[in-house]
Chain A
Amino acid sequence: MSKSQIEDINRNIYDIKNEDNYDFKMKKGLTREIIEELSKQKNEPEWMKEFRLKALDVYESLELPTWGPDISELDMNDIATYVRPKSKLNSSWDDVPEDIKKTFDQLGIPDAEKESLAGVGAQYDSEVVYHSMKEELIQQGVIYTDMETAVREYPDVVKEHFMKCVPVYDHKFVALHGAVWSGGSFVYVPKGVKVDIPLQSYFRLNSPESGQFEHTLIIVDEGASLHFIEGCSAPKYNKVNLHAGCVELYVKDNAYLRYSTIENWSKNMFNLNTKKAIVGKNAKMEWVTGSFGSKISMLYPMSILNGENAKTEFTGISFAGKGQNLDNGFKVVHNAKNTSSLVNAKSISKDGGKCTYRSLVRITPNAGGSKSSVSCESLMLDDISISDTIPVNDIETDDVIFSHEAKIGKISDKTIFYLMSRGLSEEDAKAMIVRGFAYPISKELPVEYAVEMNNLINLELEGAIG
């Protein structure tokens, strides 16, 4: 069989750069003065400024991770932590400045909003430039707004939940986030309200040598349900960009939340993001993740199953190409009786890319009657790539059913032969196998996003293998 040669993903839509045309750009670096200036620029309440300064102290006291990808290239002295675009927050796309609107048009956001979303938020660099939600949801009491507005208008709710699920001392880049966060979304779904159509926030980083630190806080109250979609991209620059966002999810008793992400950052991006959910009694949290972009990614969404019968599922795929080191995975803590978790993780490595699946399953002594099943599969498309699986399974009680399995392999020659015997060319056979490998993840996404994901995987596959 001839070698597989799969080209890089066609990124032409995502790589379109706008001029670095900002209203305010913070000087590079990370100091107390910069944090104070950031807080002043954002016209924040005093408690938030104090919070930021404390987070900075924590950041300075914590060491860099001693494991995972090498992130020594990242120098905070080369990163501008706050870039305010030349746009205020708008609720109509017509009011968004033309160059920014054009970017989101090309990414298909306004079209998606019309066709399949109940609400959209769009962040450009450090600030949200557009936010809108269907009237019927507003009438049902659903709140979907940018975080800055939430800090001003719902201070008690924000104070109660902000960085309580993900405390600043979790790790160094969470502390960094606490110090410099800007933008992001706040969602509150009242008790019993079912939001049938997804909400989506899209994060676009245009400015070079800068960071994006958006904060997403979602509270799905008792018996409510929501599907939230997060998309992100950036054009590629020669120097490092940083994304250190934070997602805090509260899924109250009997509630349901699905959080879907298509991550397609440019390949100069360090994606050091943190996502965590606290899941209540009889509630369910589902994560669906496609990770394609970034130079380095360290991302391990986490579910803490605190209520009896709480459930979580993680379905994720990573696709690492040339120059990429995607260290992704999932963490779950079973902390109540009869909780369950189901993990299905896949990765594809090609052209010298490295994929690592890193995970934790912890079943505490409180979690009798719990079940956990983990499956991860890795596909190697050539002999210059790397694929690692590093799972930790920590079981602290006997009354559990726990299983973990992992596989690493290449595309089976027998399968290719079988498909070719049915009339497919070798290229088509290989492309079909890769699509089939990713299918369990793509089928979990809404159709438009599954198409986007399949495009990301397949656009250049067809005709490029051989």
Chain B
Amino acid sequence: MILNNTPVRTSKNFNINNIKIDEIALPTLVPFSNVKISGETDTMTVEKTKKFELHFTYGVGNVIEDCNQCLRVQVSGKESSPIKIEFDFDQENAALAENIEVIANENAEATVMILYRSDKEKTYFHQGALHVIAKKNAKIHVIVVNLLNVSSQHLMSMENEIDENASVDYTIVDFGAKTCISNWYSNILGEKAASSVNTIYLGSDEQFFDINYIAHLRGEKTNVNMEVQGALADKAKKHFKGTIDFKKGSKKAVGNENESCLLLSDEARSIALPMLLCSEEDVEGNHASSSGKIDTKSLFYIMSRGFSEKDAIKLVVKARFECVLQTIEDWQLREEILSRIDEELL
């Protein structure tokens, strides 16, 4: 199975244009009942609907055609507290393929949190498809947190259409799954439309991440920002593919991409492909990518203050992730994410 193609190919020998997955055992879908929805209001609703299809420009690729959860979130007002959708995997709810559509009407503002958790007992399968439409002047913050166990499969496709002066900002936490394949695409259409994605990933054991983020800047004065911070321990491996594509007509657009990977083991492997594609003159595009281990001086300094080496490493990782964690207002969720770092980096 070939998944998560980059928008532009490079040499086949570099092994990054897509990934071949042979090991995923596809489950038979049965109803998934462990879904908890909270935070609905008069102007922010979640409707469990009949099956509907989502058509993606990119996406991970269809591994399972069917779905066992279909949700439509409608936002028409300005909401200060978030709507929260939580999927908990267990023996009876072992496979989930969900389609979620978020429609933010003109001038609407809201935060949508989607959480995936599991116990450590079994191998679970998740295929998610999330489509966000932000109409004129709408502002949507989407938080996607993957805290599945490290033997599961997580395939997540996210696509956004963004109108004039609207924005769709993501916070993504990818800590779970043995194979975590993530695809994020923002089609930034309207004048002054904006999008961002702030991601942290943490890999240990033999976890594998294939992260593919794509932004098309089409409208004038559009903006995109990608900030990806990760840490890899043990034999974990990651592909990061980030594409900022300035399409014709995107005059005065700005795109920035920063990817940084902390290598905590000499067996961890980080591959990055940060692409800038440009068909417009009056734009500004920047990308930066870096990899390396924790600076020994910093580590020594922290340890000289009484921390063990393990605790010092955890502290550095948490500090690295802080800029992304700050975008999550829910302190309980932040604590849950931080405690997962402690567990993974034992």
Does B331 count as interface, using CB distance less than 8 angstroms? no
CA of A123 to CA of B336, assembled, Å: 69
Smallest distance from the beta carbon of A152 to chain B beta carbons, Å? 35
B11 touches A65 (CB 8 A): yes
Identify which of B10, B263, B264, B287 contacts A67 (C-beta below 8 A): B10
Does B292 count as interface, using CB distance less than 8 angstroms? yes
Does B269 count as interface, using CB distance less than 8 angstroms? yes
Total cross-chain contacts (CB, 8 A) = 134
Q: Which of A198-206, A380-388, A419-427 contacts B (4 or more CB under 8 A)?
A: A380-388
CA of A358 to CA of B248, assembled, Å: 22
Does A394 count as interface, using CB distance less than 8 angstroms? yes
Q: Which of A82-90, A175-183, A267-275, A401-409 contacts B (4 or more CB under 8 A)?
A: A401-409
Q: Which of B45-53, B153-161, B276-284, B321-329 contacts A (4 or more CB under 8 A)?
A: B276-284
B283 touches A392 (CB 8 A): no
Does A95 count as interface, using CB distance less than 8 angstroms? no
B10 touches A395 (CB 8 A): no
25 contacts between A and B (CB under 8 A): A67-B9, A67-B17, A68-B10, A358-B10, A360-B14, A378-B278, A383-B281, A388-B8, A388-B275, A388-B276, A389-B274, A390-B8, A392-B14, A392-B16, A393-B270, A398-B292, A400-B263, A403-B289, A404-B274, A405-B286, A405-B288, A407-B285, A408-B283, A409-B283, A409-B285
Does B76 count as interface, using CB distance less than 8 angstroms? no
B248 touches A383 (CB 8 A): yes
Does A66 count as interface, using CB distance less than 8 angstroms? yes
Does A399 count as interface, using CB distance less than 8 angstroms? yes
B287 touches A406 (CB 8 A): yes
In the complex, which residues of chain B have a beta carbon less than 8 angstroms from the beta carbon of A365?
Answer: 266-267
**Contacts known (A389-B276, A393-B291, A402-B290); A66 close to B282, Cβ less than 8 A:** no
B282 touches A383 (CB 8 A): yes
In the complex, which residues of chain A have a beta carbon less than 8 angstroms from the beta carbon of B266?
Answer: 365, 368, 397-399
A396 touches B290 (CB 8 A): no
Identify which of B14, B278, B291 contacts A380 (C-beta below 8 A): B278
Does A121 count as interface, using CB distance less than 8 angstroms? no
In the complex, which residues of chain A have a beta carbon less than 8 angstroms from the beta carbon of B175?
Answer: none
CA of A383 to CA of B248, assembled, Å: 8
Instruction: Encode A26-55 as 1/0 by CB contact (under 8 A) with B.
Output: 000000000000000000000000000000
B289 touches A393 (CB 8 A): yes
B273 touches A395 (CB 8 A): no
Does B33 count as interface, using CB distance less than 8 angstroms? no
Does A211 count as interface, using CB distance less than 8 angstroms? no
In the complex, which residues of chain A have a beta carbon less than 8 angstroms from the beta carbon of B279?
Answer: 386
Smallest distance from the beta carbon of B233 to chain A beta carbons, Å? 10
Known: A380-B283, A388-B275. 18 other contacts (CB 8 A): A67-B12, A358-B10, A365-B266, A378-B276, A380-B280, A380-B281, A386-B277, A388-B277, A392-B16, A392-B273, A393-B270, A394-B14, A395-B263, A399-B266, A402-B292, A405-B287, A406-B288, A410-B282
In the complex, which residues of chain A have a beta carbon less than 8 angstroms from the beta carbon of B263?
Answer: 395, 397-398, 400
Total contacting residues, chain B, CB less than 8 A: 43
**Interface set of A (CB-CB < 8 Å, partner B):** 65-68, 358, 360, 365, 368, 378, 380-383, 385-410
CA of A50 to CA of B171, assembled, Å: 60
In the complex, which residues of chain B have a beta carbon less than 8 angstroms from the beta carbon of A408?
Answer: 246, 276, 278, 283-286
CA of A398 to CA of B267, assembled, Å: 8
**Contacts known (A65-B11, A67-B11, A360-B14); A395 close to B287, Cβ less than 8 A:** no
A388 touches B278 (CB 8 A): yes
CA of A434 to CA of B12, assembled, Å: 35
Task: Name which of B261, B276, B283 has the most chain A CB atoms within 10 A of its CB.
Answer: B276
Does B310 count as interface, using CB distance less than 8 angstroms? no
A404 touches B10 (CB 8 A): no
Question: Looking across the interface, which residue of chain A has its beta carbon closest to that of B290?
Answer: A403
In the complex, which residues of chain B have a beta carbon less than 8 angstroms from the beta carbon of A390?
Answer: 8, 10, 273, 275
In the complex, which residues of chain B have a beta carbon less than 8 angstroms from the beta carbon of A407?
Answer: 284-286
Question: Looking across the interface, which residue of chain B has its beta carbon closest to that of A381?
Answer: B281
Question: Looking across the interface, which residue of chain B has its beta carbon closest to that of A394?
Answer: B271
Question: Looking across the interface, which residue of chain B has its beta carbon closest to that of A401?
Answer: B292
Smallest distance from the beta carbon of B14 to chain A beta carbons, Å? 4
Question: Looking across the interface, which residue of chain B has its beta carbon closest to that of A396?
Answer: B269
A406 touches B274 (CB 8 A): yes
CA of A403 to CA of B291, assembled, Å: 7
Question: Looking across the interface, which residue of chain B has its beta carbon closest to that of A380?
Answer: B281
CA of A67 to CA of B288, assembled, Å: 23
Does B265 count as interface, using CB distance less than 8 angstroms? yes
CA of A365 to CA of B263, assembled, Å: 12
**Contacts known (A401-B292, A407-B285); A393 close to B9, Cβ less than 8 A:** no
Interface residues of B in 1-52 (CB under 8 A from A): 8-12, 14, 16-17
In the complex, which residues of chain A have a beta carbon less than 8 angstroms from the beta carbon of B12?
Answer: 66-67
**Contacts known (A404-B288, A407-B285); A395 close to B275, Cβ less than 8 A:** no
CA of A162 to CA of B85, assembled, Å: 63
Smallest distance from the beta carbon of B295 to chain A beta carbons, Å? 9
**Contacts known (A397-B263, A398-B293); A406 close to B286, Cβ less than 8 A:** yes
Smallest distance from the beta carbon of A74 to chain B beta carbons, Å? 18
In the complex, which residues of chain B have a beta carbon less than 8 angstroms from the beta carbon of A368?
Answer: 266
CA of A360 to CA of B282, assembled, Å: 28
CA of A410 to CA of B280, assembled, Å: 9
Identify which of A66, A360, A381, A401 contacts B9 (C-beta below 8 A): A66
B17 touches A406 (CB 8 A): no
**Contacts known (A395-B291, A398-B263, A398-B293); A386 close to B278, Cβ less than 8 A:** yes
A382 touches B281 (CB 8 A): yes
Task: Name which of B12, B274, B278 has the most chain A CB atoms within 10 A of its CB.
Answer: B278
CA of A403 to CA of B280, assembled, Å: 26
Instruction: Encode B250-266 as 1/0 by CB contact (under 8 A) with A.
Output: 01000000000101111
Identify which of A68, A358, A387, A394 contacts B278 (C-beta below 8 A): A387
Instruction: Encode B149-170 as 1/0 by CB contact (under 8 A) with A.
Output: 0000000000000000000000
In the complex, which residues of chain A have a beta carbon less than 8 angstroms from the beta carbon of B280?
Answer: 380, 383
